[in-house]
Chain A
Amino acid sequence: QVQLQESGPGLVTPSQTLSLTCSVSGASVSRGGHTWSWIRQHPGKGLEWIGLIFPSGNTYYAPSLKSRVTMSLDTSKSQFSLKLSSVTAADTAVYFCARGYCSNASCWYSWFDSWGQGTRVTVSS
């Protein structure tokens, strides 16, 4: 059974870079059939997709965040990571990592079948 666990600082200073890691157990981040995403939830609000990385390392980001987001894989550690630069208070949220289950060989169509528990990040000086 796959498990995902987010880790990283709970407090980030404005204008700095938010860095989070998702550790995956029970599945390989480099094996096809799945994608790996970051999703966030502002306090009391809905879900916002941040970006996705394929096992190949190809990435796709939300247009609204694209200029500030970088995602990467560390297959040796079975982890994937998120970096969000130039953060402001508007980036304060709970950040989830999630696995996408691919419905076809191209893996273009996938839904989130497993989620981490989420990690709360506050941007404040």
Chain B
Amino acid sequence: EIVMTQSPATLSVSPGESVTLSCRASRSVSNNLAWYQQKPGQAPRLLIYAASTRATGISARFSGTGSGTEFTLTISSLQSEDFAVYYCQQYNDWPPLTFGGGTKVEIK
């Protein structure tokens, strides 16, 4: 099973700042990685797939990079609606499909 590790667990940031979230795979997943955003009481929403491709309707403030085992999600100029929990997920080597533990982006 590929273990996905996200860091940090929590990020405290002010609106307007930029943040970078990290996701590490226990072995290479090529570029078969997705990022999701989840707000309280809601289902996750797809942000990024194939490590760096934004999903339909996703703001250009969200960008993904990486391949192999190291990935990042950058959110530029944080807006109020961006405060949420972010998950990475690998779909390269399964079953099982696996998610990271999440990074909570909270208001400072």
Chain A positions near chain B (C-beta within 8 angstroms) = 37, 46-49, 51-52, 60-64, 96, 98, 100-101, 103, 109-113, 115-118
In the complex, how many residue pairs between chain A and chain B have their CB atoms under 8 Å apart? Answer: 63
Nearest CB on A from B29, distance (A): 10
Task: State in angstroms the CA–CA spacing of A117 and B39 once bound together.
Answer: 12
Q: Is B49 an interface residue, CB under 8 A from the partner? A: yes
| Chain B at the A interface: SS class | loop
Let me know if B46 and A60 touch, CB within 8 A: no
- On whether the beta carbons of B100 and A111 are closer than 8 Å, the reply is no
Minimal Cβ-Cβ distance residue in B for A47? B99
Which single member of A52, A116, A117 contacts B97 (CB below 8 Å)?
A52
**CB distance A63 to B95 under 8 Å?**
yes
Give the A-binding residues of B (Cβ under 8 A): 1, 32, 34, 36, 42-46, 49-50, 55, 87, 89, 91-92, 94-102
Residues of A within 8 A of B98 (CB): 49
Q: How far is the CB of B7 from chain A (nearest CB, A)?
A: 14
Which of B50, B96, B98 has the most A CB atoms < 10 Å from its CB?
B96
| Residues on the A chain within 8 Å of B34, using CB | 111-112
* Least distance between A47 CB and chain B CB atoms (Å): 4
In the bound complex, CA of A46 to CA of B102 (Å): 7
CA separation between A52 and B96, bound complex, in Å?
10
Which 10 residue pairs of A and B lie closest in terms of their CB atoms, listed nearest first? A115-B43, A111-B34, A49-B97, A62-B96, A111-B49, A47-B99, A60-B95, A46-B101, A46-B102, A113-B46
Which of these, A52, A63, A96, contacts B43 with CB under 8 Å? A96
